[in-house]
Amino acid sequence: MFYSRLVTAPLVGQHRLLNIHPSLLPGFKGIGAVEQAHGFGARFLGATLHVADEQMDHGRTVAQASCPTRPDWSLEDWQHVAFLQKTALLLLAIELTSLRLLRWEGADAKLDPGWVSGDRLNPMLTDPALLAGLRQHQRPGLEFL
């Protein structure tokens, strides 16, 4: 999780890897994705949980979190929201794995076809304690949950 460099073929070939990238892929790949999106004036800020492969910010998308941006947000605000989105996706990955809803088929991760997502960010948010924990770290005016 949270790679800051390109993963090489030997590591990818020996392990099943997920990455959380702070943009809605395929947009804003590489280091500094939040800064890129902010500079571009993106209307949505998001993060992507995806299978890490030999290419930069490539691989199957497992889940995404997003929210609309506001013109009064500073770059620091964008980075704060992006961190919370990445945290939510990390918790989602752990929950989906522990519930055996995220399965590996060779080097590819797939969600169980019987799992149906609702209108929320992810099933983790049906747990009031986890949702409250994430919400307590949101700043006024930066709510995304």
Residues tagged active-site:
21
| Average pLDDT of the chain to the nearest whole number | 80
Which residue ranges form the domains of the chain, and what is each CATH number? 9-135 (3.40.50.170)
Based on DSSP, count helices (H) and strands (E) in the chain, helices before strands: 4, 5
Nearest to 122 by CA among 65, 84, 83, 69: 65
pLDDT on residue 3:
59
pLDDT digits (tens, 9 = 90+) for 116-143: 555 444 555 556 676 677 667 666 665 5
Tell me the whole-structure pTM to 2 decimals: 0.76
pLDDT digits (tens, 9 = 90+) for 7-40: 677 777 777 888 899 999 998 998 899 999 999 9
Segment 53-63 shows an average pLDDT of: 84
